[in-house]
Each structure stands twice: as C-alpha cells, then as structure tokens.
Amino acid sequence: MRIIAGTKRGQPIAVPKGRDTRPTLDRVKESLFGIIQFEIAGKTVLDLFAGSGNLGLEALSRGAEHAVFNDAARESATAVRTNVEKLGFLRQSTIYSLDYRAAIQAAARAGFRFGLVFLDPPYRAGFLEETLAALKTAEVLAPGCRIIAEHAANLPPETPPGFTLCDRRKYGIAGLSIFEEERA
C-alpha cells in the first residue's frame, strides 16, 4: 500500500498484521480522492477507524492541515504512529487508540472541528448511522464538512436525520457514501 499523490507520493505505508484490518482498495481510494481533491487543502481531517491511517495520510500528503487518527486496536494505532513518523507528519497528527465514541469526545474536548471525516468501520448494519449520530452530537463537524463512509456495496447506510446524502458509489463489494450535515 502506498500514498497515491501529493508531497509523499509513492511512499509505502505499513499495514497492521492480521485479518482485523480491511485496507481501502487503491481504486476506491483513487476515486474517492478524485471526488474530494479540491476540498482537502487546509482542512482538519478525522480518520476514525484508521487501520493503517491510509486515508488520513493521503489527505495530509495532499495538503490537509492536520489529521486525527483513531483505531481501537493497539496494533493499528502502532501502525498509524509508525506511518506518521516515517512520513514526517508527526506535528500535523493526533493519534488516539480509543473506542470510536471516546475518540470523538476526546477530539471535541481538544477543540477539533473537522472539514473531512473518513469512516471505514466494520461492515455491519447500523454502525455507520451510530457513528454519524455521535459526530453530530459532539459538535465536531465544521460547516460544510464532508463525511466519507466506506461500507459494503450491498449494505449502504441509511441517511440519518440531520444529514444529506451527497453522493454514493459502488466499487465491486465496496461502496462509498458521502454525507454532509444539514445546517439550520
């Protein structure tokens, strides 16, 4: 696995061992970053179910200002730290190894407001909806924030109250849904 574009283009990324991590496929990542390419620069991003940190690292390479990474699995958090250090993004990164709800609360307490959120949680029904609700409740989403959720193509998440579905794509067994918070 490698960084596709930006200042760290071509740099390899360490991936946690085991079957618990399901890295985003390169073609899905390329398509995703093609969609959001003009929305990255200067943003603070959240890579909530980070695994290797693949999506947050790609965003930093393409000009994001700061990335908050979280994965409850210690091995994944270690891989993220290794990747962040190797790529020279330590000053632009915050790394948590917490339950996703605790990580969202920690980010809220730290004053983060995210312009982009990457969600690649375990593929099971209802989990993305729970995560979106937790993000909304914690008030960590900046105005115009885009939330990119990877999910099983045959299990697209429902659009939760308070959000708008902006785009939905399928890539074989993987799907992407892009949401935006509705503002009053």
pLDDT surpassing 70 at residue 157: yes
Calculate mean pLDDT across residues 50-61.
96
Specify the DSSP element, H or E, that contains 168: strand 163-171
pTM summary value:
0.93
pLDDT surpassing 60 at residue 60: yes
CA 44 to each of CA 36, 67, 141: distance values in angstroms, whole numbers, following the listed order:
14, 6, 10
Q: Is residue 18 domain-resident?
A: no
Strand partners, 141: 114
Q: Is residue 7 domain-resident?
A: no
Q: Please, what is the average pLDDT of the chain?
A: 91
Strand partners, 95: 69
Q: Is residue 154 domain-resident?
A: yes
Unique residue bearing structure tokens 């593929």? 123
Find the domain containing 109 and state its range.
Answer: 26-181
pLDDT surpassing 60 at residue 43: yes
Q: Is residue 12 domain-resident?
A: no
Q: Is residue 49 domain-resident?
A: yes
Taking only the tens place, the pLDDT of each residue in 64-73 is 999 999 999 9
Q: Measured between alpha carbons, how far is 151 from 122 in angstroms, rounded to an integer? A: 8
Domains identified in the chain, total number: 1
Q: Is residue 6 domain-resident?
A: no
Q: Is residue 159 domain-resident?
A: yes
Q: What is the pLDDT at residue 148?
A: 96
What CATH code is carried by the domain that includes residue 156? 3.40.50.150
CA 88 to each of CA 11, 79, 91: distance values in angstroms, whole numbers, following the listed order:
11, 14, 8
Q: Measured between alpha carbons, how far is 23 from 150 in angstroms, rounded to an integer? A: 11
Query: Which stretches does DSSP call E strand in 6-121?
Result: 44-47, 66-70, 93-96, 114-119
Q: Measured between alpha carbons, how far is 12 from 52 in angstroms, rounded to an integer? A: 11
Taking only the tens place, the pLDDT of each residue in 123-155 is 765 678 889 999 999 999 999 999 999 988 988
Nearest Cα to Cα of residue 48 among 70, 29, 67: 70
Q: Is residue 41 domain-resident?
A: yes
